[in-house]
Amino acid sequence: MAKQTWSKARIKCALEERGMTLTGLAELKGIDPRNFRAVWSRKVRSAEQAIAEYLGVPAAELFPDRYPIRRSSILSKENEDLIASQKAARDPDRRAAA
């Protein structure tokens, strides 16, 4: 069976089926409710994790475009890999010259 995708509507529906709202979950977790409302448009790790814990689903499954967490939001994954491989190739040269 294929993994189900989680849309905004599906996440909200799953919360509502359990008798919870984003505002209620924010209050339960002691997080500003504005952070929960912003989770749809930007990365809010605390809200993402709270929703994931409450639903019992990994945050990476709920918000797949935001995970895994990358150090740079400018570089694409391919460019990060390329730079890392180039740095790894240069490191032995520096040690030999020292």
d(CA 63, CA 44): 11
Confidence of residue 81 (pLDDT cuts 50, 70, 90): confident
Give the residue among 21, 63, 59, 20 at the shortest CA–CA distance from 42. Answer: 63
Instruction: Tell whether the model's pLDDT for residue 74 goes beyond 70.
Output: no
Residue 44 · residue 36 · CB < 8 Å: yes
- pTM, entire model: 0.67
Residues 6+ apart with CB under 8 A from 11: 51, 55, 62
pLDDT in tens, 8-25: 999 999 999 999 999 999
Q: How confident is the model at residue 1 (pLDDT cuts 50, 70, 90)?
A: very low
Helix or strand holding residue 70 (H, E): none
At 84 the pLDDT is 73
